[in-house]
Chains A and B, each alone.
Chain A
Amino acid sequence: GQNIDQPTEMTATEGAIVQINCTYQTSGFNGLFWYQQHAGEAPTFLSYNVLDGLEEKGRFSSFLSRSKGYSYLLLKELQMKDSASYLCAASDSNYQLIWGAGTKLIIKP
């Protein structure tokens, strides 16, 4: 079956760094997405990885290891506005997105 695993909740301090991990098992693979979702709002795109390695985009970076079925999202210099749920989604052989349950990130001052 197809499955995405990510932690349910994480807590971090403002100004710090946090890494959110995601493991996936899919029928075929066409890339890994990270989305940010604030309560009551639709997801917004953060990053897309299809090749192994690290993609850096400002304060956010995303890493992918296809052989391990593993990705992480790294958030640096955390700000209070980063408090949100972070959704990991893998694109399968039919380009359907298989979604994780999301990681609720709580930022404390």
Chain B
Amino acid sequence: GAVVSQHPSWVICKSGTSVKIECRSLDFQATTMFWYRQFPKQSLMLMATSNEGSKATYEQGVEKDKFLINHASLTLSTLTVTSAHPEDSSFYICSARNDLAGDYNEQFFGPGTRLTVL
């Protein structure tokens, strides 16, 4: 089956620092990747959609200069939270989809990254 990994699985950082989260598709080509954020007891909130080799499309209200997304290859996308603050503490989840396979509905989720900003 399709496997998506995320690294790190958890991170604690000081306010003002930047944190990079990696999302990798291990056994398929991820033409599209999605980044979600989930606060406690709330549902998933889509932050942005990225396609390999092009700029990410951000959802309304998500600051693109704060949440930098790079989808440099068909197996790797990164989310960098710049100048992180305590309110950025959340569970960040990526998912990946292979549009070349023709099934635009099938998203495979990574295990998530728990970010805590002190």
Which residues of A are at the interface with B, using a C-beta cutoff of 8 A?
Answer: 30-31, 33, 40-45, 48, 50, 87, 91, 95-97, 99-102
Closest to A91 in B: B105
The range of chain B's interface size is 10 to 19
Separation of A44 and B114 alpha carbons in the complex (Å): 17
- Check A41 against B43 for contact (C-beta < 8 Å): no
- Check A95 against B104 for contact (C-beta < 8 Å): yes
Provide 9 A-B residue pairs closer than 8 Å at the C-beta atoms, listed in order of the A residue.
A33-B105, A42-B109, A42-B110, A45-B109, A50-B105, A87-B44, A97-B107, A99-B45, A100-B43
Separation of A97 and B44 alpha carbons in the complex (Å): 10
Which residues of B are at the interface with A, using a C-beta cutoff of 8 A?
Answer: 34, 42-46, 49, 91, 93, 104-105, 107, 109-112, 114
- Check B44 against A41 for contact (C-beta < 8 Å): no
B118 to chain A, nearest CB (A): 19
A35 to chain B, nearest CB (A): 8
Q: State the total of A-B contacts with C-beta under 8 angstroms.
A: 40
Q: Which of A33, A48, A91, A97 has the most CB of B within 10 A?
A: A97
- Check A42 against B43 for contact (C-beta < 8 Å): no
- Check A30 against B104 for contact (C-beta < 8 Å): yes
- Check B91 against A40 for contact (C-beta < 8 Å): yes
Query: Which residues on B sit within 8 Å (CB–CB) of A43?
Result: 44, 93, 109
- Check A99 against B105 for contact (C-beta < 8 Å): no
Contact of A48 among B44, B46, B105, B109 (CB under 8 A): B105
Query: Which residues on B sit within 8 Å (CB–CB) of A41?
Result: 111-112
Query: Which residues on B sit within 8 Å (CB–CB) of A48?
Result: 105
What would 14 more interface pairs be, CB under 8 Å, given A30-B104, A96-B49, A99-B46?
Answer: A30-B105, A33-B105, A41-B112, A43-B109, A44-B109, A48-B105, A50-B105, A87-B44, A95-B105, A97-B46, A97-B107, A99-B43, A99-B44, A102-B43
A45 to chain B, nearest CB (A): 8
Contact of B46 among A45, A96, A100 (CB under 8 A): A96
B93 to chain A, nearest CB (A): 5
Separation of A31 and B40 alpha carbons in the complex (Å): 27
